Amino acid sequence: MIKLSKIKLSEYDRRQLSLMKERLSSFMSNNLSLKDLIDDLEGLLDCLESINAEWKEAFHEHWFMLEQVYAVALFRNESINSDDPDILEAVKQLEALLNS
């Protein structure tokens, strides 16, 4: 896995990555819904310009776990528990990628 510290990042990408971290933090503080987190991370990921495909794919993989948990809960008409192990693991992995 390519670490962000090994990639020459533009100032623009640094801002997008910082926003991703902020959104994850807001979600973990219960200040942001899972739906909004999913939407925001997807939009920010799509905006990145100088990040290589390998890093983006790894990020997308963990983002997609959040999307799946949300979709299943929506389909079953269930509430979403932010302490769900799948959500916590995906967030942990996303944070690790952002701090790499």
Global pTM value: 0.91
Residue 78 burial class via C-beta count within 10 angstroms: exposed 0-12, middle 13-18, buried 19 and up: exposed
Query: For 45-99, how does the pLDDT look when each residue is reduced to its tens digit (9 = 90+)?
Result: 999 998 989 999 999 999 999 999 999 999 999 999 888 999 999 999 999 999 9
CA distance 16 to 72: 28
pLDDT of residue 16 exceeding 80, the answer is: yes
**Could you identify the residue written with the tokens 């987190």?**
37
Domain boundaries, the chain: 9-99
CB-based burial, 42-71: b 16+ in 10 Å, e otherwise: eebbeebeebeeebbebbeebbebbbebbe
**pLDDT on residue 30:** 94
